[in-house]
Amino acid sequence: MNDDANRMPADADAPVETLYEGHWLSLRRRGRWEYAERNNPGGAVIILALTPEDKLLFVEQYRVAIQQHTIEMPAGLVGDLAGQSGESVLVAARRELEEETGYRCQQLEFMHRGPSSSGMSTEMITFVRARELQKVGPGGGDHSENIVVHEVAMREAGDWLFARAREGYSIDPKLFAGLWFIEHFRRDDSGL
């Protein structure tokens, strides 16, 4: 980076003020910047899961914040269960994959970690790849969720997503990053 890129804004050293503290999120202000902070320190995990038949797993659910049904990849919070604050990303990924889709995996592979929305939130998301999947249950989420599982042929995934968008679904843009990872990720790239 050049010297101009390394300069910190004046607000970077301002004290943090808590505007609101909820169960899952807190609203903070540092100088003129307001941002959401996840109350679980583990962030979130997104699972890239292909069945043995080369079908990609998507989940559909209603998201209250945007008042719309969304298409997403299986995902969830890390360390959000009572007594599990130290849960690892890979343990959370296994739990969320089975809970949401009804699939178990034999292997998980770290792919990438980064901010979900660096201008608005402290949340960090981790992409993991699930391998050697086996159907063990119906999926659908826990008692508070109503998740529909979609199994879509990998070669048709992009077209399927755009068709759902035309039908009025909100398509999580991180899906396209996930598709790129599936098609282009090499084990030696994991240092990204």
Q: Tell me, yes or no, whether 59 and 17 share the same domain.
A: no
Q: Are 186 and 192 in contact (CB under 8 A)?
A: no
For the chain, 192 residues long, give each residue's pLDDT as a single digit of tens: 555 556 888 788 899 999 999 988 999 999 999 999 988 778 899 999 999 999 999 999 999 999 999 999 999 999 876 667 678 999 999 999 999 999 999 999 999 999 999 989 999 999 999 999 999 988 887 777 889 999 999 999 999 999 999 999 999 999 999 999 998 876 555 444
Q: What CATH number did the domain enclosing 81 receive?
A: 3.90.79.10
Residue in 40, 39, 34 with CA at minimum distance from that of residue 22 = 39
Q: What is the pTM of this model?
A: 0.87
Q: Tell me, yes or no, whether 71 and 122 share the same domain.
A: yes
Q: Provide the residue range defining the domain that includes 20.
A: 11-38
Instruction: Please tell me whether residue 81 adopts helix, strand or coil conformation.
Output: coil
Q: Tell me, yes or no, whether 32 and 113 share the same domain.
A: no
Report yes or no on 4 lying in a domain. no
Q: Tell me, yes or no, whether 63 and 28 share the same domain.
A: no
Q: Tell me, yes or no, whether 27 and 91 share the same domain.
A: no
Q: Tell me, yes or no, whether 149 and 175 share the same domain.
A: yes
Which stretches does DSSP call E strand in the chain?
A: 16-21, 25-30, 33-38, 44-49, 55-63, 68-72, 75-77, 103-115, 124-135, 148-153, 170-171
Report yes or no on 125 lying in a domain. yes
Tracing tokens 């034999």 back to the chain, one arrives at 106
Report yes or no on 5 lying in a domain. no
